[in-house]
Structure formats: structure tokens, C-alpha cells
Amino acid sequence: MTVSKTGFYTHEDCRKHEMGPGHPECPERLDAIQDRLLVSGVADALEHLEAPLASLNDIELAHDRLHVAALRGLTLRLVEEQAAGGPEHTSLDSDTSINAHTWTAALRAAGAAMAATDAVLAGELENAFCMVRPPGHHATRSKAMGFCFFNNVAVAAKYALQRHNLQRVAVIDFDVHHGNGTEDILAGDERALMCSFFQHPFYPYSGDHEPAANMCNVPVPAYTRGMDIREIVEMMWIPRLEEFKPELIFISAGFDAHREDDMGQLGLTEQDFAWITQRIKDVARRYCGGRIVSCLEGGYVMSPLARSVEAHVRVLADL
């Protein structure tokens, strides 16, 4: 049996983390994606791999030790309280909370991104998609926020630079929200280039004010449509990426910019996500042997999320 060139990383532990009834960042997101990939036949073309647990030493490439220790401590305390009939969740902010399984799920999500990095750099895969949760791009060096605990893509980017000694990695973020955590961790690191667009003004109300030189941030107003986004990618992202010549490209793949996703107000369709993925893939094939590691971020309405991931993965897998 030949190894397929697109890896698909996930783990059942990623479904066990949940933040309470009615929360948009829910385990059912992964079910919707998995069902769509199975029904469409896309799943058959992928190499299915289990997300390992990340080591704390690797997590701490991108996060303060105190942040990691605090999250672990909160989890242990929650488990103890639950054993005594206590609450199922501990809130970290108004929209982000942990349950007894969050710690392990977060280690799996970051572990998937690093395992995919290892496999892609070893030439075992051309690229990979990590169907993981919790998402990561709002998690800063020292803070969990916006449904995010560890910054999966930023951890993997630092891992590629520090453990694999790469000289240049790029991060592409097409979530509707600004990846403030990724910017916090990578800003000023000349070995990294981050390209993003995001609805503005909008949560987390950042990204538009004097970004570091290695940030290519493009704030866009609500109701911006796909053709305008394509022009931004062509005119602003691609020249920066070509000048930078990345050795590996990471994608923070958020699909909440879809016009049917009411978490935001942008007007993209799954065809736009496919087009963006193809342009990124063109750059990757020119400069880094096609090496891409993509990680799920946002996307909260099940049908457009599942359709958009299918479109994204089809392009990665050349289907």
C-alpha cells in the first residue's frame, strides 16, 4: 500500500473537551467534518493518523511556563472538585472554559500540529490537515482566550524553527477573527512571516495597529466578499510569501468567514477557500516542496464548515 501524500490527524480526545450546552465551539464540529469527508469519499484519499500528546517542553517553545502550569493546575483542581460533586466547567473568561478533558484535548491538538510537521519535513507526507480542537490562534504566550488554550500553529512553527532548525516558516491565517495569539508569539521573529486577513473592527479588536515587520495583516470591513479577498491574497500575501521563500507553510484554517456562518459577517464561500488553498499550495510547491501543515481553527455552522473543510482538503490532496 502506498502512503498517501496528505495526512489527516485527529484524536477522540479532541471530542471530549466541551464548554457547556449551546457553546458554538462544540464537539459536533468534528463530527460534521468527519461525516462530510466520509460521504464525499475524500477520507479514502487521506493517510489517517492519530494525534499524539505534545510534550510540555515543546508547548513551552511558544507559551510561558506559568501559563502551562496554571492550565494544568486548574484542570487538576476541577477533577478533584468534580469527584466531590462539584461543577463540570471552570470559566477562564466570558466565552472560554475548561472541563476535565480540556487539558488532554489541548495537548492532542498541539501534538497533531507537531507530528504533522515531523512527517512533512521527513518527506513521509507532502502536506497534512489537523482536524483538532480546541482551536489555537487566540492563545497568546501567556493567556488562554477566545476558545483557545495552546496556540497549535504557533507551537508548531516554533517547533519547526527550534527543533528542526528551519530558517523560514510562514503562517497563513484566514479565520474571520484576527489571530492575535499567533501574532503575539511570532511578532518580531524574522524567521517567521504571518499573512492574514480578518474582519475589523471585530473580536479580538487587534491586528490593525502598527504590526511588526514580519506581519502582513489585512483588516477588512464586514460584508467583504470573496472576490475582494482573492485580490488581497494576490496583491498583498503572494508577493510577501515569494520574497520570503518559506521552507514550510502553516495554515490557521478557520472557516467562519463563510457567508453562511453567523459568527462573523464576511462573504466567502467554499470555492473561495479552495482558491486560497490552491494559491498557498502554488507557493509551497515553488519554494518548499509543497510542505504545508494546516490546522482547524474556527467555523461554527455545521454545513458550511464541513463543505469548506472538504474543499480545503480536496485541494491539499489534489482531488
Contact (Cβ atoms closer than 8 angstroms) between residue 46 and residue 8: yes
The C-alpha atoms of residue 157 and residue 123 are separated, in whole angstroms, by: 17
Contact (Cβ atoms closer than 8 angstroms) between residue 265 and residue 222: yes
DSSP 25-44: S-THHHHHHHHHHHHHSGGG
Name the grid cell of 104.
488532554
The C-alpha atoms of residue 253 and residue 249 are separated, in whole angstroms, by: 12
Is 138 in the active site? Answer: yes
Name the grid cell of 278.
490552491
Catalytic residue among 138, 200, 258, 312: 138
Residue 138 backbone zone (phi > 0: left; psi -120 to 50: alpha; other: beta): alpha
Phi, psi dihedrals of residue 57, rounded to the nearest 5°: -60, -40
CB atoms within 10 A of CB 293: 32
Q: Are strands 6-10 and 248-253 parallel, antiparallel or unpaired?
A: unpaired
The C-alpha atoms of residue 207 and residue 271 are separated, in whole angstroms, by: 26
Name the grid cell of 151.
496556540
Active site residues: 138
